[in-house]
Amino acid sequence: MIISVAALAAALLPVLLGGRLSRLAAIPFRHTGWIVAALATQILIIEVLPGPVSLLQAAHIATYGIAAWFIIVNRRIPGLWIIGTGAALNGLVITLNGGTLPARLGALQSAGIHLAPGEFVNSGVLAHPRLPFLGDIFAIPAGLPLSNVFSIGDILIVLGSGWTAWAIVGTRWTAPRAVTPRRTPRHRLPRQRGIRLLLPRVASPSAPAS
């Protein structure tokens, strides 16, 4: 939850600095319904729904696959590659560790997080973690708002959200960057019939005066 809040705050910061939120409507994001569904699924399996551990782990991994696909089809959006890199790091480590992001015990203790054995956790202490340095090794200590643990990938996601918003929304002092529209494949271009459409028209000479 802390990463979602931090990413939203980073995305809204340019608006507080004079940027126009309405500029987001002009950005050609594609398949936004899929990424919204993936985020909603993550919230459900992490915060709400109990269920078989193996099923929830598989769903957790699948949400990162959807996120990767969304990043690829929207790769022309400025800064989105930073978010994609962070999500890819998290997704890789979660996949290698069977659906759970490995966490450092000291970080969990610092954040005041106590895990119940036998339940699905999106982040937890593993006996033999793979790539543990990419797991949740940082913590916001207990007693502070939204205390939790987070990873290097989470940091990149927050930074990427701020960069994308700054590039699109702009600020009082900086203009937004132009987004290159997706090119239409050649086989989808309308076919022109006849050579007359391919050559410029030349005005006929005026008739000589008699």
User: Do the Cβ atoms of 66 and 37 come closer than 8 Å?
Assistant: yes
| pLDDT mean over 138-160 | 93
User: Do the Cβ atoms of 170 and 15 come closer than 8 Å?
Assistant: no
- The rounded mean pLDDT for the chain is 80
Report the pLDDT value the prediction gives residue 17, as an integer from 0 to 100. 87
The tokens describing 153, both together, are 């990938």
Report the pLDDT value the prediction gives residue 51, as an integer from 0 to 100. 59
Q: Assess whether pLDDT exceeds 50 at residue 37.
A: yes
Q: What is the dihedral of CA 9, 18, 174, 166, to 10 degrees?
A: 20
6-23, pLDDT tens digit by residue?
Answer: 888 888 888 888 888 778
Domain ranges across the chain = 2-176
Q: Assess whether pLDDT exceeds 90 at residue 172.
A: no
| pLDDT mean over 60-84 | 89
In angstroms, the CA 6 to CA 148 distance is 12
Report the pLDDT value the prediction gives residue 189, as an integer from 0 to 100. 46
Report the pLDDT value the prediction gives residue 118, as an integer from 0 to 100. 64
Q: Please tell me the pTM assigned to this model.
A: 0.73
Residue 88 pLDDT grade (very low, low, confident, very high; cuts 50, 70, 90) = very high
